[in-house]
Structure 1
Amino acid sequence: RVHDAAQPTPILGDAAAAATALQIRQHFGEPPVSVMTRVGCCLRNLAVDQWLGQLVDQQRVETAVVIGVGLDTRRQRLVDLDIALVEIDSPAVIDLRDRWIPADGAVRVTGDGLHIDAWRHAIDASGTGKVAIILEGVLAYQQPENVTRFFSDLARFLPGAYLLFDSPSPIAARSANRPQPGRSERPAYTWAPWSTRRLGGPAGRLTILDEKGFMDFPSALTACFRRRDRVLHSLPPLRRSYRMTLAQVPGGIRA
């Protein structure tokens, strides 16, 4: 987002992210990041921004829970979005957020966001059952059984909630997990479903409301990808090998 904000025609134009650039460089350095990863993260942010805005405009969501919030600046980026926000991450990350990023009314919770008991109290305090759960760059690093348990818990405690998340297919995970020179180290993808259509738990499957791959965005936003990547990700088997998904948890009033 910092790099994107400095471009003549940015995807997000996230001035709040750019404002934290110095602290981030001093704390983390500047590990090498591929164009595909850098632009892909901004496209993922954009998809979630758009879906969340639509849900709020349609009065279907009043509270958003961001699990694994990291250094996200959505509250500052979408200043006109009228929504209660709950931000969840490890104590170390929440400490950095408290130092670098204004809360602007967001409730910040430390703990494992995949355990609903860690943050249910914040939802109860908001007084609304219209909830969206956002997980960007989170589920792919979890063990499959933990993701299944999480979906089951959502169906029990927040039926009808909206779920905004990203996931790689096994093909994309295999490629991403392969060691490559110059690629910054990161944990391996461990959760990589072939399809999102069968996700869920004992209470039923998630209802998929919308889904996007990188090549589903306007070509102007993906022009900086290498031609090879654009061609590969346009092929039917690979078009959504990495996808962003808007879904609804079983139960409650359907969208």
Structure 2
Amino acid sequence: MHGPFLGAVQETLLIPLYGRAVEHRKRDAALRDGRAAEIVAGLSYDFGRFDGLPSLVGTVLRTVLFDSWVRDFLATHPSCTIVEIGTGLNTRYERVDNGRARWFELDLPDVIEVRRSFFSDTPRRTMIAASVTDSAWAEAVAAGSDGPYFFSAEAVLPFLDETDVRAVVGMIAARFPGSRLALDTAGPAFISGQNGYDALSKVAARMRWSCAGPDDLTRWRSGIELVASHTLSALPSHVYGPLPAPYQEMLAALAEQRPPQVEEYRLNLFQLP
């Protein structure tokens, strides 16, 4: 058993990991992730604090959408480079890799130390221990790969201050022009109410970047385009359609209720200039 000695923000990576592990064991699942189940079994952590929380399903649905965006990019650019920002213990490579793409998995040193207990670098897959705000990781990616590039920042940037988020987006746009960037945003009512949200209330970390809407980012730098933006209650048809019927019913109910923790939390895909 491995005890994950993680910082406060880093601990949040265990929520989506557990969500995928729980989902994997369901008879009718939105995704399968046997590797996540193995990792949960190998960690000494009280995952039971997250049992039965709706946010677990939310993390799975978010991952399904991000997976679909990466798959689409791989289909169009088979020899591209995928960069997982704040990779945590994600297993996207296991789920969607096409056998040709170059992958980089970036996270803070304590996370990468835990990650190396379960994953190894390969000629096409490299872990980088660094903060997303440190430009050195971008140089390592540029030196070790060719484009086009897809950057996936799932459940990472809202935990930074807006100043840092702006710097990260600007750095990616400047160093990797023409790349795609997937990220989530949380609105002001979400940020102010997060102490009462189920999974976040179980950990110490809190989101800091309040984003009124993803269009804000298009004004940060000339040429940034918003390609897609969805709430969990309004997923695109190609993601919603294959979901198990109970999930479709749950999402339909959420669309009627419009709680801020759903309506103000958006999953976004950008084209960088």
How do 1:68-87 residues align onto structure 2 when only pairs under 5 Å count?
Answer: 68-80=86-98, 82-87=100-105
**Normalising to structure 1: TM-score of the pair?**
0.85
Matches within 5 A, 1:1-255: 1-24=20-43, 26=44, 28-33=45-50, 35-59=53-77, 62-80=80-98, 82-104=100-122, 105-126=124-145, 128-178=146-196, 183-200=201-218, 203-204=221-222, 206-217=224-235, 218=240, 220-221=243-244, 223=246, 231-234=253-256, 238=260, 240-250=263-273
Structure 2 counterpart of 1:187, one-letter code: A
CA contact (8 A) 1:149 1:201 kept: no
Deviation at 1:48, TM superposition (A): 0.8
Residue 180 of structure 1: CA displacement?
Answer: 6.8
**For 2:248 and 2:195, how far apart are their aligned partners in 1?**
20
**Partner deviation per Cα, 1:167-202 (whole Å, 9 max, x = no partner):** 111122222234779941231111121110121566
Match of 1:253 in 2: none
Could you list the runs of 5+ residues in structure 1 that have no partner in the other structure? 251-255
CA distance in 2, matches of 1:148, 1:182: 24
Give the Å deviation of 1:151: 1.7
What is the alpha-carbon distance in structure 2 between the residues aligned to residue 15 and residue 86 of structure 1? 21
* TM-score, structure 2 normalization: 0.80
Identity %: 20
Amino acid at match of 1:114: T
Shift in CA distance, 115/241, structure 1 to aligned 2, threshold 3 Å = same
CA distance 1:213–1:81, change in 2 (3 Å): farther
Moved segments of 4+, more than 6 Å: 179-182
Q: 1:29 Cα deviation (Å)?
A: 2.1
SS at match of 1:188: coil
Compared CA separation, residues 200 and 35, structure 1 to 2 (3 A):
same
For the 8 Å contact 2:84–2:153, the answer to whether it is kept is yes
After superposition, the CA RMSD in angstroms is 2.8
Aligned length: 246
Asked if 2 retains the 8 angstrom alpha-carbon contact of 1:109 and 1:119, the reply is: no
Structure 1 counterpart of 2:142, one-letter code = I
Distance 2:245 2:233 in 1: 7
CA contact (8 A) 2:158 2:208 kept: yes
Distance 1:9-1:232 versus aligned 2 partners, 3 A rule: closer
Q: 1:202 to 1:46 in 2, by over 3 A?
A: closer
Q: List runs of 5+ in structure 2 lacking aligned partners.
A: 1-19
In structure 1, distance between residues paired with 2:183 and 2:68:
13
